[in-house]
């Protein structure tokens, strides 16, 4: 029987979405009532466009042409031990080299993805006042309907999102009841089926990564089962077409504060991962999931798998929708790399920390003016001079 779950809350400036609303601003720009993007949506060039200060333009251009690895799971089911080991190795290499990969031929039924997309579209087709019935409560960033990311920056990104924790206590039902009379069971089922499938896929990936690191298969996955303190989250990210796409950003550059992120994008490109001096676009592949290493897995792998900065850009013509499942560890679990990865008589690269401590650092230090995306560096052990 589940006991009570302590989810972190934060003191943040509450956001007023109506006055900021990107739909109104978009319509005003298109209708000619305003000529330029209001200041609050304008992001610095190095955030909104490509990276500035690239030492060598040719390198930057070459980097942009690269693409993240694709791992095919088709042969995994019923496959030999060797096939499994090869797939595990491919995943580990992708995580080491990129922190990102796409996975195809997963066991996730396509209908589950289709249904959750239909639900997300149903929500974002509602009038703003209806969506705002599920408005992100003060102090609970990224829960409910929002867009401002006030903890990331004073600038406003061109995004709307809807999300919630996926725990035994807090689920999509309460959120849906705020929006629809009767709670919209179809919507709830599609979200919960998506979370369950994404979680299964994530568990499989964590097992394969452990195997690829020559660790016991359940090294990471055993901590992720649903428990009272488990803090997985789902989120829909919705990006409206933007009349001035090169001045703003959909999802500002960030690293994910989780273990593993499982993301599906529609067929509109927008997600980009930072590579050296450039942003590399992750091309949408039908039926694929984009998987990335989060900050906790970087620590849990003793710095072997980097949690890499990424962002989502917007475009003038088409809206874009991504649906994401964030696998996080139980709130109270202290994250520390397994001894085998650390080495005899060595200290782990990061101090042990819990999800609750980490998230507090993330939100609180942002408020204190730190704009770096590498919050994990706060957890790095200080080097003691010999």
| Residue 359 C-alpha from the chain's centroid | 14
Q: Does 309 bind Fe ion (CB under 5 A)?
A: no
Q: Is residue 318 packed enough to be buried (19+ CB in 10 Å), middle (13-18) or exposed (0-12)?
A: middle
Q: Does 251 bind ligand AKG (CB under 6 A)?
A: yes
- The item of ligand AKG, Fe ion, none sharing an interface with residue 280, based on CB under 5 to 8 Å by kind, is none
- Residue 271 C-beta: closest distance to Fe ion, Å: 8
Q: Does 258 bind Fe ion (CB under 5 A)?
A: no
- The item of ligand AKG, Fe ion, none sharing an interface with residue 313, based on CB under 5 to 8 Å by kind, is none
Q: Is residue 143 packed enough to be buried (19+ CB in 10 Å), middle (13-18) or exposed (0-12)?
A: buried
* Span 197-236, contacts to ligand AKG by CB under 6 A: 235
From 132, 256, 295, 357, residue interacting with ligand AKG (rule: CB under 6 A)? 256
- Residue 237 C-beta: closest distance to ligand AKG, Å: 4
| Nearest of 277, 318, 327, 319 to residue 300 by alpha carbon | 327
Backbone dihedral region for residue 302 (phi beyond 0: left; psi -120 to 50: alpha; all else: beta): left
* Span 321-380, contacts to ligand AKG by CB under 6 A: 322, 324
Q: Of 166 and 235, which has the nearer Cβ to ligand AKG?
A: 235
Euclidean distance between CA atoms 342 and 170, whole angstroms:
36
* Span near ligand AKG by CB under 6 A; candidates 146-154, 218-226, 262-270, 347-355: 262-270
* Span 115-154, contacts to ligand AKG by CB under 6 A: none
Euclidean distance between CA atoms 285 and 289, whole angstroms:
8
| Nearest of 51, 25, 28 to residue 40 by alpha carbon | 25
Collapsed DSSP state (helix, strand, coil) of residue 162: strand
- The item of Fe ion, ligand AKG, none sharing an interface with residue 322, based on CB under 5 to 8 Å by kind, is ligand AKG
Q: What is the DSSP string of 211-254?
A: HHTTS-TTTTGGGTS--TT--EEEEEEEE---SSTTT--SEEEE
Backbone angles phi, psi at 279, to 5 degrees: -110, 125
Q: Does 312 bind ligand AKG (CB under 6 A)?
A: yes
Collapsed DSSP state (helix, strand, coil) of residue 263: strand
- Residue 266 C-beta: closest distance to ligand AKG, Å: 10
DSSP letter at 276 equals: T
Cβ neighbour number for residue 137 with a 10 Å cutoff: 12
- Residue 101 C-beta: closest distance to ligand AKG, Å: 15
From 112, 231, 271, 313, residue interacting with ligand AKG (rule: CB under 6 A)? 271
Intra-chain end-to-end CA distance of the chain, in Å: 50
From 155, 237, 248, 331, residue interacting with ligand AKG (rule: CB under 6 A)? 237
- The item of ligand AKG, Fe ion, none sharing an interface with residue 156, based on CB under 5 to 8 Å by kind, is none
Euclidean distance between CA atoms 294 and 300, whole angstroms:
10
From 148, 149, 310, 366, residue interacting with ligand AKG (rule: CB under 6 A)? 310
- Residue 309 C-beta: closest distance to Fe ion, Å: 9
DSSP letter at 380 equals: B
- The item of Fe ion, ligand AKG, none sharing an interface with residue 295, based on CB under 5 to 8 Å by kind, is none
- Residue 149 C-beta: closest distance to Fe ion, Å: 11
* C-alpha radius of gyration, the chain, whole number: 21
Q: Does 256 bind Fe ion (CB under 5 A)?
A: yes
- The item of Fe ion, ligand AKG, none sharing an interface with residue 12, based on CB under 5 to 8 Å by kind, is none
Backbone angles phi, psi at 311, to 5 degrees: -155, 170
- Residue 214 C-beta: closest distance to Fe ion, Å: 29
Residues that bind ligand AKG (CB under 6 A): 235, 237, 251, 256, 263, 265, 270-271, 310, 312, 322, 324
Residues that bind Fe ion (CB under 5 A): 256
């Amino acid at each position: 029987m589940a006991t009570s779950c302590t989810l972190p809350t934060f003191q943040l400036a509450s956001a007023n979405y109506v006055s900021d609303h990107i739909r109104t601003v978009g319509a005003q720009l298109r209708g000619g009532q305003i000529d330029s993007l209001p200041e609050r949506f304008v992001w610095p060039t190095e955030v909104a466009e490509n990276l500035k200060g690239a030492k060598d333009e040719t390198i930057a251009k070459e980097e942009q042409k690269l693409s993240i690895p694709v791992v095919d799971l088709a042969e995994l089911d019923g496959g030999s031990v060797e096939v499994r080991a090869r797939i595990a190795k491919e995943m580990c290499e992708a995580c080491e080299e990129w922190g990102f990969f796409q996975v195809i031929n997963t066991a996730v039924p396509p209908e589950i993805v289709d249904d959750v997309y239909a639900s997300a579209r149903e929500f974002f087709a509602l009038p703003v006042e209806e969506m705002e019935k599920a408005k992100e409560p003060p102090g609970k960033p990224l829960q409910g309907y929002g867009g401002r990311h006030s903890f990331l920056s004073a600038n406003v990104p061109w995004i709307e999102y809807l999300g919630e924790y996926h725990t035994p206590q807090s689920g999509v039902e309460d959120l849906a009841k705020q929006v629809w009379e009767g709670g919209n069971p179809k919507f709830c089922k599609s979200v919960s089926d998506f979370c369950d499938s994404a979680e299964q896929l994530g568990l499989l990936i964590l097992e394969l990564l452990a195997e690829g690191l020559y660790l016991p298969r359940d090294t990471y996955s055993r901590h992720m089962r649903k428990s009272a303190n488990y803090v997985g989250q789902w989120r829909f990210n919705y990006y409206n077409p933007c009349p001035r796409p090169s001045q703003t950003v959909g999802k500002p550059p960030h690293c994910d504060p989780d273990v593993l992120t499982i993301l599906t994008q529609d067929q509109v490109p927008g997600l980009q991962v930072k590579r050296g001096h450039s942003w590399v676009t992750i091309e949408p592949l039908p039926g694929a999931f984009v998987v990335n290493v989060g900050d906790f897995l970087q620590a849990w792998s003793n710095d072997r798998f980097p949690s890499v900065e990424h962002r989502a850009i917007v475009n003038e013509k088409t809206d874009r929708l991504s649906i994401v499942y964030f696998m996080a560890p139980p709130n109270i679990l202290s994250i520390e790399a397994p001894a085998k990865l650390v080495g005899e008589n060595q200290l782990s690269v990061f101090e042990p920390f819990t999800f609750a401590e980490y998230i507090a650092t993330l939100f609180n230090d942002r408020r204190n003016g730190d704009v770096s995306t590498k919050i994990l560096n706060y957890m790095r052990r200080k080097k003691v001079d010999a």
